[in-house]
Structure formats: structure tokens, C-alpha cells
Amino acid sequence: MLDGLYDQGRAEVAVSVSEFVDMANQAFDYAFMGIIISGELANLRVSKNKWVYFDLKDDSASVKFFGTVYQLPGPLEDGMLLNVRGTPHMHQLYGFSISVQSISLAGEGTIRRAAELLQAKLQAEGLFDSARKRALPYPPKVIGLVTSGQSAAYADFIKILKARWGGLEIRLIDVQVQGDVAPSQIVSAIAQHNAEASPPDVIAVIRGGGSADDLAAFSSEQVTRAVAASRIPTIVAIGHEVDLSLAELAADMRASTPSNAAELLVPDRASVVAQLVDARRQLEMQGLAAIRAARKQLQYEVQGLSEATNRIVHTSQSSLVSDRQLLELLNPAAVLRRGYAIVRHNGAALRNATGLGKNDGLQIQLDGDAITAVVVTVTQHASVKKG
């Protein structure tokens, strides 16, 4: 492949620039299948919102790196400590650099600062606003779980769920919860739950405690955005109570621990039964009180109705007595008993002698007796003769 002249004494080779670049890249490919370089970030620059250029340095050396913005774990700034996986490469025009394959944060201080920068960025976008938070179904029937199936966090979560409620469907997507591949696996699992034909009622993303480096995946931009974008309500519980990841801030509900997440998702069966028993007792007491009150009210109403009826009857009786007395006064028989008589001519009662003639017949009604008479003389005061 190589054409050149060798100096037999020094065994040197003469090559062109392009040939040297090719030789160097062949040597790099042979010697470095892949390498992780740790150092302090310097001279970070983004070009055209796509390409990323930066240096990693230590006390005595500096190395150039080249990659894309999609490989960044989040906002970075000079001075942060990074672990960069990449391959050495000699460019025909721009010289030596490391082509980036992945970038991870190194050191708790760097991880914390990167999280602060990313938090400020996402906060400005509104990803953590309380107005975005949705209520979780309580209790859910189906839980989509994203965690490591071999972890203590998974075992604790399942144990608490079964002890408190039970009868739930748990759909686990087993993922790595730390390391370079963790963010992509977690994002993929959340997307998979959201894409299910019959999706779960809630997605729970959990893992146990660890160092800041162990928990870094859950403060990565891609995981935080995936949690915020989920169309299924989410609950996130990462680490111990004092730990707080950005994914938890983006979730609809945050739990302090995986066990606490289980407690927040479902009620305690024994407590619910006790509440139901107490509620039944309260309802029974309220029912009995309502019955007693209704009976008492009914008694009042019956008594009032009876009193009103008695008043009506008394009033009616008094009116009847008055009417009977009036009728008695107006009864012709009562008049006859007082010594008066009724005189009739041709069946009609006479009020005066007008129209009577001599020898006209009269009928005189007395108290218990009747007399027939004939008119003898008609004067101003008619006189009659018994017959």
C-alpha cells in the first residue's frame, strides 16, 4: 500500500500527507477499539446547533473532541469533569481529535452543577409547572413499571402493593437504571407503555438509592423530557428521601422512595375496611336519628291534625246548634205551640182579609188541632164563625 523510499540505515519511510493520515487512522483503529478519557471540560463550542467541539484537559495535557449536540447529556459548562467514550481520528484538514461516542458526567460536583443548569433550562420551558400536573387514578388497576426487575426497589415496591391492596396488574419493563445505556432504555420503556393498545393507568419509574453518579440517568434531559411528555400520568421515585432527580420534578407525582410510591398509589386495605365499618356505623346512627326525628315530627303533625279536626268539629257543632235554634224559632209548629194559629184559604196561608168574601171557607191550624170556619163578615178585622 505504501510507496516510498526507505533509508536502509535508519529504516525510515517517506509518505505523502494523505498517506500519513491514512496510516495514522489505521494505527488508531488497531490500537484503540474504543477508549474512555476523563478530564476537565474546556473550550466548549456548538456550531450550527448541531456540531460540538470541546477539549478535555488535566494538569499537563489537552485533547480535542468532536461530536453532535444529540450526544450531550444536558447543558454543560467549562470546568465540569467528564468521561467521554470515543475513538481517535486524524482529519485530513483539521488534524487530530477524538470522535465522541458518548458523554457522561464525572464527580458529584459536576453532576450537581449539570443538573442545576438543566433544571434552569427545563424550568424556563415550564416542564416543572404545577399546572401541568395531573391527578393519578386512585387506586389504579394497571401499573406500568419501569425499573430493574432484579433490584431491591422492585421487590419493595411489589411487596408494599400486595400488602396494602393487591389484585393489581403490574406490567414491568426491565431496564438498566444506571450507566451509559440507562437513559435510552428508560426513555424507550416509557414510550413503549404509552404506545400500548390498552395502556396502563399510571407509569411508575423507580430505583433505589445510590451515589449522585448512580442516579444521574434520572436527571438526564432525555429521561426528564420523556417523563414530562408521557400521555399517561406518571409517578417517579428515585433514591432515598433526600435525593431529588429532575425526572421527579417533571412527573405528575413524586414519591420519596419506591416504597412510598406504592403507598401513594394504593390505599391500605385494612384502613379502608375500618373506614367502611365506621361509615356504616355512622350511616346506621344517622338513619336511626332520622327515623326518630321523623316519628317525632309525625307525632307533632298527628297531634296538630287532631287538634285542628277537633276545632273544626267543635265549630261545626256550635254552628249546628245555632242553626237548630234558628230553625226552631222559624218553625211554624213552634209558633203554634206559643198560642198562635195559621189561617188558610184554599190551601194558602192568609196574611190579611183581602180577597175574602162572605161564606168563604177557612182552615185554621192550631197546635195539634185543625178547625174549619166560614167567613160571616169581612171588615177591617174579619170575623169568623166556627162550623
Q: Which of 218, 243, 267 is the last residue of a domain?
A: 267
Q: Judge contact between 191 and 295, C-beta under 8 A.
A: no
In tens, the pLDDT along 152-190 reads 999 999 999 999 998 899 999 999 999 889 999 999 999
- In 10 A of CB 323, how many CB atoms? 10
Write down the pLDDT at residue 10.
58
What is residue 40's DSSP assignment? E
Write down the pLDDT at residue 198.
96
In tens, the pLDDT along 211-225 reads 877 888 998 899 999
In tens, the pLDDT along 133-145 reads 999 999 999 999 9
State pTM to two decimals.
0.60
42 located within any domain: yes
350 and 245 share a domain?
no
DSSP 75-124: ---TT-EEEEEEEEEEETTTEEEEEEEEEEE-SHHHHHHHHHHHHHHHHH
169 and 262 share a domain?
yes
From 211, 201, 277, 208, select the one nearest 234 (Cα to Cα): 201
Write down the pLDDT at residue 6.
44
165 and 196 share a domain?
yes
From 135, 140, 106, 122, select the one nearest 38 (Cα to Cα): 106
Helix runs in the chain, H state only: 17-31, 108-125, 152-164, 182-195, 221-229, 246-250, 258-265, 269-330, 332-337
Q: Which residue has the cell 413524586?
A: 254
Query: Residue 261: left (phi > 0), alpha (psi -120 to 50), or beta?
Result: alpha
* pLDDT, tens digit only, all 387 positions of the chain: 444 444 455 567 788 888 888 888 888 888 877 789 999 999 999 999 899 999 999 888 999 999 999 888 888 889 889 999 999 988 888 888 999 998 888 877 887 788 888 899 999 999 999 999 999 999 999 999 999 999 999 999 999 999 999 889 999 999 999 988 999 999 999 999 999 999 999 999 999 988 877 888 998 899 999 999 999 999 999 987 777 889 999 999 999 999 999 999 999 988 888 888 888 899 989 999 999 999 999 999 998 898 888 999 988 888 888 888 888 777 777 777 777 888 888 888 888 877 788 888 888 888 778 888 888 887 755 455 555
152 and 83 share a domain?
no
Q: What is the CATH number for 250?
A: 3.40.50.261
141 and 258 share a domain?
yes
Domain range for 277: 270-330
93 located within any domain: yes
Q: Which residue has the cell 505504501?
A: 2
203 and 231 share a domain?
yes
188 located within any domain: yes
DSSP 165-201: T---EEEEEE---SSTTHHHHHHHHHHHHHH-SS--S
375 and 358 share a domain?
yes
Q: Which of 304, 330, 356 is the last residue of a domain?
A: 330
Write down the pLDDT at residue 382.
46
Write down the pLDDT at residue 140.
96
CA dihedral sign, ordered 215, 216, 217, 219: positive
Write down the pLDDT at residue 1.
43
Q: How many domains does the chain have?
A: 4
146 and 220 share a domain?
yes
126 located within any domain: no
Q: What is the CATH number for 92?
A: 2.40.50.140
